[in-house]
Amino acid sequence: MTVVAVLSMKGGVGKSTVTLGLASAAWARDLTALVIDLDPQANTTMAIDVPDATFTTSDVLADARPGVAQDAITPSGWGSGVSVIATSPPAGIPRCDFAPRWPPRPGSSTSS
């Protein structure tokens, strides 16, 4: 298992972009990937298309019991290979459905 941490205290330096690029590279190669989003901005969580996250990274960090992180793993909208431990999007921020879906759904105008 390879663990990659993408972190910086500075905003706008490409953390979310790099994370999504790594996840999409894993997806394209049929590798299993788990994205753990610790950023309360939740850009990665929103882009990775999490339909319903019951538990978030905040819940995991607040509860030291074994198994809590496992319970927080949620399927992403990218398919069975990419899972996520989501963060909670700030209240009032709509999902970014205006962005092209990536990876594209087979047969969509953005798929090849």
Ligand X SMILES: Nc1ncnc2c1ncn2[C@@H]1O[C@H](COP(=O)(O)OP(=O)(O)O)[C@@H](O)[C@H]1O
Judged by the rule CB under 6 A, the positions of this chain that interact with ligand X are 11-17, 43
Q: Percent helix, strand and coil across the chain, each rounded to 5?
A: 25, 15, 60
Residue 28 interaction partner, one of ligand X, Mg ion, none, beta carbon < 5-8 Å per kind: none
Among 16, 57, 74, 76, binds Mg ion (CB under 5 A): 16
Nearest to ligand X of 34, 38 (CB atom): 38
43 is a site residue for Mg ion (CB under 5 A): yes
End-to-end CA distance of the chain: 30
**Tokens 């941490």 found at:** 5
Nearest approach in angstroms of CB 10 to Mg ion is 11
57 is a site residue for Mg ion (CB under 5 A): no
Q: Is the Cα dihedral 69, 70, 76, 82 positive or negative?
A: positive
- Residue ranges that bind Mg ion, judged by CB under 5 A: 15-16, 43
